[in-house]
Structure 1
Amino acid sequence: MKITMTSLFLVMIILLTFMITTMISKKSKMSREKNSPFECGFSSMSSARKSFSTHFFLIATLFLIFDIEISIILPMYSTKMTILKEWLLTSTTIITILIFGLIHEWKNGMLNWSK
C-alpha cells in the first residue's frame, strides 16, 4: 500500500483544520461561575440552605399526578378496549378519584399562594 503525496497532504490539511477549530472553540475566559454546574434553576453560587418554595413543590406534584393519570387513560383508549362500558367506567373512576383529591386540597387551602 503506497502513500502518495496527495493523500499525505490531505491528511495534513485535515489535522491542521482540527487543531485550528479546537483552538478557536475553547473558552477564552474561565471563571468560577461558568465552570460550575447549573442545577434545576438554582444558582450554585448562592447559599445551599436557602428555603425551597413548598407551593412550587405542590404544583409540580399535582402536575405529575395528572400527568400519570393521562398516561394511564390514553393507553386504554389507544388499545381500543373491546368493551366500551369497561373503558368508560375505569376512566371515570380514575378521574373522579383525582377530582375528589383536588377538591380536598382546595378546601384545605393547600393551593393558596398567599401563605
Structure 2
Amino acid sequence: MLRPYIPVLILLVLSVAQAIGMVVLSQVLSPGRATKSKSSPYESGMTPLGNTRERFSVKFYVVAILFIVFDVETVFLLPWAVQARALGWGGFAVVGIFVFILTVGLIYEWKKGALEWD
C-alpha cells in the first residue's frame, strides 16, 4: 500500500542529506581566518559613510509595490494568452476588465505623482 510513496521518500532523504552535506562541507572547507574587513557588516568592507539608520523615502516602497503588482499582472496574463482561443469571448471580457482596473490604478498613481523621483 505504501509502495508508490517509496520514490518520494527516497527524494526526501536525498534532499535532506544534500542540504546537511552542503552545510557541513561549507564549514569544513571555508577558511576560518577572520579579518577586520570580513567581520564588517558591509559588503565591500569599506567604512560606512553617514548614518546606517538612514530612512528611505516612501516613494521607493510605492514604486516597489507597483512593480510587484504589474509583475503579478503579467503572471496572470501569460496563461490567459496561451489559452485565449479556448476561453473565447468570455475569457477576453474578464481579462479586459482585469486590465482596465489595473490601468485605472496606474493612471491614479501617475496623477498622484507616485512615479515622480524629485
Fold-level similarity (TM above 0.5)? yes
Q: Give the Cα separation in 2 of the matches to 1:102 and 1:111.
A: 10
- Identity across matched positions, percent: 33
The total of aligned residue pairs comes to: 87
Closer/same/farther in 2, CA of residues 38 and 97 from structure 1, 3 Å limit: farther
1:89 counterpart (83, 89, 93): 93
Closer/same/farther in 2, CA of residues 48 and 102 from structure 1, 3 Å limit: same
Gaps of 5+ in 1: 1-21
- 1:59-85 Cα offsets, whole Å, 9 max, x none, are 111110001111112122334562321
After TM superposition, the runs of 4+ consecutive aligned structure 1 residues lying more than 6 A away are none
Q: Is the 8 A contact 1:55 1:111 kept in 2?
A: yes
The structure in which a higher percent of residues are helix is 2
TM-score in terms of structure 1 length: 0.58
1:113 counterpart (103, 111, 117): 117
Q: Which residue of 1 aligns with 2:31?
A: 26
Gaps of 5+ in 2: 1-28
The CA deviation at 1:28 is: 5.7
1:53 counterpart (43, 48, 57): 57
Q: Give the Cα separation in 2 of the matches to 1:92 and 1:47.
A: 48
The CA deviation at 1:89 is: 1.1
Q: Which amino acid counterpart does residue 102 of structure 2 have in structure 1?
A: L
TM-align CA RMSD: 3.1
Q: Is the 8 A contact 1:77 1:87 kept in 2?
A: no
